[in-house]
């Protein structure tokens, strides 16, 4: 496979984790401007585990996911009384505070004559896992896609269980949800924590693939992109955010000749698209309708 | 046994409910009437945990629920319908009814209720595509699936014709079961007579006043 | 003396933040919407002004006028494309994401207009002076006055005219206002124009005090506006003004004590604390509760 294509595809796969994490928060009715922080925390933890502690990639990624989940849970607990714009802004502040922490995190070691470890604004260089294990870009793409598919399988089985419908009810109409005996706080906390795990895991892969990470990469722009992918793609199914990622990165890459004007065209197109499909392309109604059609035909 | 004792509630300094008490035995059917704005919906909101009373206690089978959140009321078996039917518009009716019936036993009950109500054909539709009489039945089914201790209905007749209301009443009577107590807030007296065994009237500043026989207020 | 000097600097800067906060509070208070493209509109107006300056040749006053007109136009465009189509109750997130898309668009247009990273922005020249032992920057004093005057004008518009009455009625309760026949046609459009004019004023004042524009100005002003609004109490106009002044004070003091690097973090930390301890902001607006039926009667 073409190296360039493979690296674009890998990037799309990694950003898909971020978009899915934004999706999980949107499902329970909240907007987060802070998912990039969990992505960044996951990246730093996985990088430290593999490059500094020499852990196996499996444990490195797991640690990244757990780190992301813990930060998300902490945020969820602190903001337990908030919703709407209050929640959104507090996620933004929390993310910027975490990024500030990364900006001041210095813990370097010399390993085989190379200085590695977080070094303030300079970031974390020489995350050499893919070189040491002789991974080609395509090998890494395969790894990332496999992880994404596993995540999708988990999310789809969640989608088929009543949990996801309960979460959507909590998100759309908390009063109705309570009248059905659902505890909104529990749903929100679990989904926010899960979203942190997903983002942290994606961040871990991101660190391994990029071999260098720095706090500036995890600014609010990254998070808002993930959020926008989820909304554009639609909240009907986990496929939605993937479609959003594909539309943005995939299509934009294919119209390279227009590079200079691409955001002008694309930004307008997205706003225009949302006029006609305010719930995103793959809206919950669309999914529900497709599901019942499918069932009618196959029962 | 479900009881409200000495419930009081005021909004912005104005007393809406003052010292309201009410006891329901299993299977009891109580109707509440009263002028618009005397606080019937407020009473239901408090009785089902959606509003917290300023004073008083709420008990179910000797367990105090007063300060529990609304979802805990629902889990304890206190169900309600809303003055305007309330469903998600983004999922079809079938999915939403299934969500209300989580235990296997409730699922069986739900299937039976759906059959009896003639809702099968609407299960794959979205709530905003389903006519109101059907939705009202669906809302009751949703409440009854888990065989609750008490079911509160807030003005179920709104928007129904006499004929539709009649059908609704028959359906309700046939499917409530022995155990479930019922409280209906209503204006339509014919309907009340059909499904309740006593009626009280809520009056401004006077609380619940007897209209029929043997009601403890 | 240093404390006093820092505080006065803070108030001067804070007055422009107050305008940014007011723009957000107008839109949020009345329409319950967040316009993420707000900063991008400001950047667009400023870029347009710099781009047209050599062509028009009107000098500083030209920059002033074109910036404000440019921001107002961009703001109106954002309203038509991103907010008017999503005016239903559940449209808030969609509208916000649409405005994010337009943010990207306006950013790109601005960088097409101004390809370099920094461009000089020549404000109106006013001499500086000493007042006792306190150094006062003339331009900042002028800006302070302009900010106060525009806040006063906005106040008169909202509280002394019929349009203002209708706007306030709608803000209090859209349904009731509609029932009473107080529907303001193009209300959203008018609000966005107003917010755009305030934003344009703020942009001109901030940029001429700094003396240059960078592409980061958009994101920066969105942040400042949002934070000023949050500190003061979401949706409250008076709160946004006070929030802006407090933000200015906190920033300059934090910068003086801890260094410039910590300045923004202190602000984010403060906002986070305000939110989790007193979510209604300093003015204590009570619309934050998630589980209360007070907002919605069942
Ligand atoms: N959440 C609330 N906030 C303020 N006032 C309320 C609220 N809910 C109800 N009220 C007031 O309480 C009174 C009783 O309302 P309600 O219980 O809806 O009456 P009913 O259902 O008997 O028609 C009314 O005057 C109403 O305006
Ligand atoms: Mg009522």
Q: What is the mean pLDDT of residues A178-193?
A: 96
Taking a C-beta distance cutoff of 8 angstroms, is the pair C121, C213 a contact?
Answer: yes
Q: What is the mean pLDDT of residues C261-284?
A: 81
Q: Strand B63-64's sheet: what is its strand order?
A: B14-24, B2-11, B55-60, B63-64
- Ligand 1 centre and the CA of C110: distance in Å? 52
Q: Which of A275-279, B123-127, C166-170, C280-284 has the least mean pLDDT?
A: C280-284
Contact C108 A261 (CB under 8 A): yes
pLDDT at C163 over 70: yes
pLDDT at C81: 94
What pairing do the DSSP bridges indicate for beta strands B181-185 and B150-154?
parallel
CB of B36 within 6 A of ligand 1: the answer is yes
C-alpha dihedral sign at C89, A221, C246, C268: positive
Q: What is the mean pLDDT of residues C270-288?
A: 71
> Residue C277, Cβ neighbours under 10 Å: how many?
8
**HSE-up of residue B24 (Cα within 13 Å, Cβ side):** 30
What pairing do the DSSP bridges indicate for beta strands B198-203 and B55-60?
unpaired
Q: How confident is the model at residue C293 (pLDDT cuts 50, 70, 90)?
A: very low
Listed in sequence order, the residues at least 6 apart from C153 whose beta carbon sits closer than 8 Å to its beta carbon are none
C291 touches chain B (CB under 8 A): yes
Does residue A85 or residue B140 have the better pLDDT? B140
pLDDT at C179: 67
Contacts with B126 from chain A: Cβ below 8 Å? 285, 288
**Residue A26 token pair:** 């949107």
> What is the secondary structure of C234-272 as a DSSP string?
TT-HHHHHHHHHHHHHHHHHHHHHH-HHHHHHHHHHHHH
Contact B86 A292 (CB under 8 A): no
Listed in sequence order, the residues at least 6 apart from A146 whose beta carbon sits closer than 8 Å to its beta carbon are none
Each residue's pLDDT tens digit, B64-73: 999 999 999 9
Predicted TM-score (pTM) of the model is: 0.91
Q: What is the mean pLDDT of residues B149-156?
A: 94
pLDDT at C292: 36
Taking a C-beta distance cutoff of 8 angstroms, is the pair A100, A71 a contact?
Answer: no
Taking a C-beta distance cutoff of 8 angstroms, is the pair B41, B183 a contact?
Answer: no
Q: What is the mean pLDDT of residues A181-189?
A: 96
Q: What is the mean pLDDT of chain C?
A: 85
CB of C55 within 6 A of ligand 1: the answer is no
In this structure, the residue with its CA closest to atom 9 of ligand 1 is B42
Q: What is the mean pLDDT of residues C290-296?
A: 40
Q: What is the mean pLDDT of residues C240-246?
A: 92
Q: How confident is the model at residue B215 (pLDDT cuts 50, 70, 90)?
A: very low
Residue with tokens 């908030």: A82
**Residue A208 token pair:** 């391994």
Residue with tokens 């309907």: B191
Q: Compute the count of residue pairs across chains A and C with CB atoms less than 8 Å apart.
A: 129
A137-160 vs A3-27: helix crossing angle, rounded to 10: 20
pLDDT at B212: 53
Q: What is the mean pLDDT of residues B184-200?
A: 90
**Residue A148 token pair:** 């994404």
Contacts with C99 from chain A: Cβ below 8 Å? 271
Q: Which of B45, B69, B71 would you mutate first to test chain A, the one with the most A CBs within 10 A?
A: B71
pLDDT at A27: 95
C106 touches chain A (CB under 8 A): yes
Which of the given ranges, A188-192, B134-138, C141-145, has the highest pLDDT on average?
A188-192
Q: Could you say which residues from 35 to 94 on chain C have a Cβ atom under 8 Å away from some Cβ of chain A?
A: 36, 81-82, 85-86, 90-94
- Ligand 2 centre and the CA of B39: distance in Å? 7
Does residue B43 or residue C29 have the better pLDDT? B43
How far off is chain C from A235, nearest CA to CA, in Å? Answer: 11
In this structure, the residue with its CA closest to atom 1 of ligand 1 is C294
CB of C298 within 6 A of ligand 1: the answer is no
The pick from B17, B18, B37 for probing ligand 1's pocket by mutation, whose C-beta has the most ligand atoms within 8 angstroms, reads B37
Does residue C287 or residue A174 have the better pLDDT? A174
- Ligand 2 centre and the CA of B84: distance in Å? 10
Q: What is the mean pLDDT of residues A65-79?
A: 97
Spacing of C-alpha C255 from chain mean position: 22
Q: What is the mean pLDDT of chain A?
A: 91
Does residue C85 or residue C31 have the better pLDDT? C85
Write the residue in A181, A184, A284 that is nearest to B91 by C-beta: A284
CB of B17 within 6 A of ligand 1: the answer is no
CA pair distance C54, A273, nearest whole angstrom: 37
pLDDT at A268: 87
Q: Could you say which residues from 176 to 195 on chain A have a Cβ atom under 8 Å away from some Cβ of chain C?
A: 178, 184
CA pair distance A3, B198, nearest whole angstrom: 80
Q: What is the mean pLDDT of residues A208-226?
A: 93
pLDDT at B72: 95
Chain C residue with CA closest to A26: the answer is C93
pLDDT at A228: 92
Contacts with B142 from chain A: Cβ below 8 Å? 180
Percent of chain C scoring above 90 in pLDDT: 39
In this structure, the residue with its CA closest to atom 6 of ligand 1 is B11
Contacts with C271 from chain A: Cβ below 8 Å? 89-90, 93
In degrees, rounded to 5, the angle at the alpha carbon of residue A127 between the alpha carbons of residues A126 and A128 is 90
Q: What's the CATH superfamily of B2-216? A: P-loop containing nucleotide triphosphate hydrolases (3.40.50.300)
- Ligand 1 nearest atom to the CA of residue C293, by list position: 1
Each residue's pLDDT tens digit, C96-153: 989 999 999 999 999 999 988 888 888 777 788 888 878 888 888 888 888 889 889 9
Listed in sequence order, the residues at least 6 apart from B111 whose beta carbon sits closer than 8 Å to its beta carbon are none
ipTM of this complex:
0.91
Q: Contact partners of C by the rule of 3+ C-beta pairs under 8 A?
A: A, B
pLDDT at B208: 83
CB of B41 within 6 A of ligand 1: the answer is yes
Domain ranges of chain A: 3-219
How far off is chain A from B70, nearest CA to CA, in Å? Answer: 6
In degrees, rounded to 5, the angle at the alpha carbon of residue B107 between the alpha carbons of residues B165 and B174 is 30
In this structure, the residue with its CA closest to atom 14 of ligand 1 is B39
Percent of chain A scoring above 70 in pLDDT: 98
pLDDT at A232: 92
CB of C297 within 6 A of ligand 1: the answer is yes
pLDDT at C184: 63
| Helix or strand run (H / E) with residue A124 | strand A124-125
Q: What is the mean pLDDT of residues C210-233?
A: 90
pLDDT at B127 over 70: yes
Would you give the end-to-end CA distance of chain A in angstroms? 42
Q: What is the mean pLDDT of chain B?
A: 90
pLDDT at C41 over 70: yes
C297 touches chain B (CB under 8 A): yes
pLDDT at C133: 79
Q: How confident is the model at residue C219 (pLDDT cuts 50, 70, 90)?
A: very high
CA pair distance C95, C98, nearest whole angstrom: 5
Contact A168 B90 (CB under 8 A): yes
Q: What is the DSSP letter of A116?
A: E
pLDDT at A177: 94
Q: Which of B41, B45, B91 would you mutate first to test chain A, the one with the most A CBs within 10 A?
A: B91
């Amino acid at each position: 496979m073409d190296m360039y294509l493979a690296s674009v595809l890998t990037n799309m796969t990694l950003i898909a984790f971020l978009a899915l994490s934004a999706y999980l928060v949107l499902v329970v009715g909240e907007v987060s401007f802070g998912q990039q922080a969990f992505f960044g925390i996951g990246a730093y933890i996985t990088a430290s585990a593999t490059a500094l502690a020499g852990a196996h990639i499996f444990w490195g990624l797991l640690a990244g996911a757990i780190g992301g989940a813990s930060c998300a849970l902490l945020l969820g607990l602190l903001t337990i009384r908030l919703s709407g714009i209050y929640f959104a802004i507090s996620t933004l502040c929390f993310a910027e505070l975490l990024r500030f922490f990364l900006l001041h995190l210095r813990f370097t070691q010399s390993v085989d004559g190379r200085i590695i470890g977080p070094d303030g604004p300079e970031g974390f260089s020489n995350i050499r896992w893919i070189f040491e294990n002789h991974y080609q870009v395509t090998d890494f793409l395969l790894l990332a896609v496999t992880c994404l598919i596993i995540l999708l399988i988990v999310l789809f089985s969640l989608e088929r269980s009543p949990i996801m419908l309960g979460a959507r009810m909590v998100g759309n109409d908390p009063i109705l949800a309570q009248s059905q005996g659902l505890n909104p706080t529990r749903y929100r906390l679990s989904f926010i924590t899960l979203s942190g795990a997903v983002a942290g895991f994606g961040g871990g892969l991101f660190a391994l693939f990029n071999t260098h990470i720095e706090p500036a990469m995890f600014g609010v722009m990254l998070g808002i992109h993930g959020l926008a992918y989820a909304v554009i793609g639609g909240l009907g199914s986990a496929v939605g955010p993937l479609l959003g990622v594909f539309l943005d990165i995939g299509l934009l890459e294919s119209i390279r000749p227009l590079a200079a004007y691409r955001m002008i065209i694309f930004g307008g197109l997205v706003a225009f698209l949302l006029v006609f499909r305010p719930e995103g392309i793959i809206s919950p109604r669309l999914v529900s309708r497709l599901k019942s059609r499918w069932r009618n035909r196959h029962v | 046994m479900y009881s409200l004792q000495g419930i009081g509630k005021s909004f912005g300094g104005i007393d809406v409910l003052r010292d309201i008490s009410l006891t329901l035995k299993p299977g009891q059917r109580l109707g509440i009437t009263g002028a618009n704005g005397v606080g019937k919906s407020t009473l239901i909101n408090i009785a089902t945990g959606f509003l917290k009373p300023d004073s008083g206690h709420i008990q179910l089978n000797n367990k105090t629920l007063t300060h529990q959140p609304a979802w805990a009321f629902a889990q304890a078996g206190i169900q309600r319908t809303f003055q305007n039917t309330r469903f998600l518009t983004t999922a079809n009716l079938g999915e939403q009814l299934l969500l209300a019936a989580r235990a296997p036993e409730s699922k069986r009950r739900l299937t039976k209720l759906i059959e009896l109500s003639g809702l099968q054909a609407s299960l794959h539709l979205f709530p905003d595509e389903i006519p109101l009489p059907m939705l009202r039945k669906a809302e009751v089914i949703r409440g009854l699936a888990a065989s609750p201790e008490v079911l509160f209905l807030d003005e179920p007749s709104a928007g129904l014709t006499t004929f539709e209301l009649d059908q609704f009443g028959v359906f309700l009577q046939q499917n409530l079961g022995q155990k479930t107590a019922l409280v209906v807030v209503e204006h339509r007296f014919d309907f009340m007579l059909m499904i309740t065994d006593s009626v009280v009237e809520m009056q401004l500043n006077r609380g619940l006043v007897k209209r029929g026989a043997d009601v403890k207020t | 003396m240093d404390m006093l000097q820092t505080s006065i600097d803070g108030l001067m800067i804070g007055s422009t933040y107050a305008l940014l906060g007011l723009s957000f509070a107008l839109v949020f208070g009345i329409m319950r919407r967040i316009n993420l493209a707000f900063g991008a509109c400001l950047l667009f107006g400023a870029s347009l002004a710099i781009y047209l300056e050599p062509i028009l040749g009107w000098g500083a006053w030209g920059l002033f006028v074109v910036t404000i007109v440019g921001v107002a136009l961009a703001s109106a465009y954002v309203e038509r494309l991103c907010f008017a189509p999503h005016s239903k109750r559940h449209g808030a997130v969609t509208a916000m994401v649409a405005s994010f898309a337009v943010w990207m668009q306006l950013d790109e247009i601005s960088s097409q207009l101004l390809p370099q990273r920094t461009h000089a922005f020549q404000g109106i020249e006013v001499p500086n002076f000493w007042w006792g032992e306190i150094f006062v920057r003339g331009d900042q004093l002028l800006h302070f006055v302009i900010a106060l005057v525009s806040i006063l004008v906005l106040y008169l518009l909202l509280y002394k005219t019929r349009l203002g009455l209708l706007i306030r009625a709608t803000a209090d309760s859209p349904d009731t206002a509609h029932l009473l026949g107080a529907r303001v046609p193009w209300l959203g459009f008018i609000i966005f124009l107003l917010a755009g004019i305030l934003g344009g004023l703020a942009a001109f004042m901030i940029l001429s005090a700094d003396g240059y524009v960078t592409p980061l100005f958009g994101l920066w002003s969105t942040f400042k506006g949002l934070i000023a609004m949050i500190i003061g109490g979401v949706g409250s106009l008076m709160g946004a003004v006070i929030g802006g002044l407090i933000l200015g004070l906190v920033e300059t003091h934090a910068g003086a004590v801890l260094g410039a690097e910590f300045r923004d973090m202190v602000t984010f930390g403060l906002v986070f604390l305000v939110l989790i301890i007193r979510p209604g902001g300093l003015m204590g607006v009570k619309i934050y509760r998630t589980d209360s039926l007070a907002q919605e009667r069942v």
